[in-house]
């Protein structure tokens, strides 16, 4: 289901939902790479935990597609691809002793993008009167916000 022109708020919502699915798929892949690049077991564990949450978020997105009676699909997400490329570049040029900070910083950038994506989706679903969909998206937003706070806390610890 590809649409080149978005002509209504419903079109925009469908497109944003499709890009959110890609965003979470990209995030799941990136979390595996960040876990591998991290040095400390604590940071690796944080990435594994967030990967589990990401799987829950993907399931919530699937439910939102069903609630809105939209066929589940994806759409390109150049932003998440760019964030992943930036992370890869930073990891490649960082000294091993900086890897935890670099991976956490990279994850934080992705979290903030996801937070803004979910806020937009929540507004759109509420405007369409889809309260159940907005509730599922709000659960995802809450997880993303919590993860962002955890990343910041750990970065503050490492920065000393």
Task: Give the pLDDT confidence score for residue 107 in this predicted structure.
Answer: 96
Task: Give the pLDDT confidence score for residue 2 in this predicted structure.
Answer: 53
What tens-digit pLDDT sequence spans the chain (160 residues)? Answer: 455 799 999 999 999 999 999 999 999 999 999 999 999 999 999 999 999 999 999 999 999 999 999 999 999 989 999 999 999 999 999 999 999 999 999 999 999 999 999 999 999 999 999 999 999 999 999 999 999 999 999 999 998 8
Cα separation of 83 and 35, whole Å? 16
Task: Give the pLDDT confidence score for residue 67 in this predicted structure.
Answer: 97
pTM of the model: 0.93
150, two tokens: 């955890």
The residue with tokens 């679903």 is: 125
Task: Give the pLDDT confidence score for residue 3 in this predicted structure.
Answer: 55
Nearest to residue 57, comparing CAs of 143, 121, 160?
143
142, two tokens: 């809450």
The residue with tokens 């964030």 is: 83
Task: Give the pLDDT confidence score for residue 1 in this predicted structure.
Answer: 47
Cα separation of 12 and 31, whole Å? 28
Task: Give the pLDDT confidence score for residue 160 in this predicted structure.
Answer: 80
């Amino acid at each position: 289901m590809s649409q080149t022109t978005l002509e209504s708020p419903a079109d925009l919502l469908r497109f944003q939902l499709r890009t959110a699915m890609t965003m979470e798929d990209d995030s799941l892949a990136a979390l595996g790479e960040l876990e591998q690049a991290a040095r400390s077991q604590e940071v690796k564990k944080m990435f594994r935990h967030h990967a589990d949450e990401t799987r829950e978020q993907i399931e919530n997105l699937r439910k939102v597609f069903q609630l809105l009676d939209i066929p589940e699909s994806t759409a390109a997400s150049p932003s998440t691809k760019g964030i992943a490329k930036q992370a890869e570049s930073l990891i490649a040029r960082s000294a091993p002793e900086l890897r935890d900070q670099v991976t956490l910083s990279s994850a934080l950038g992705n979290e903030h993008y996801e937070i803004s994506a979910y806020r937009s989706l929540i507004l759109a679903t509420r405007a369409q009167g889809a309260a159940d969909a907005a509730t599922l998206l709000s659960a995802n937003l809450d997880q993303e916000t919590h993860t962002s706070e955890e990343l910041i806390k750990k970065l503050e610890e490492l920065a000393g």
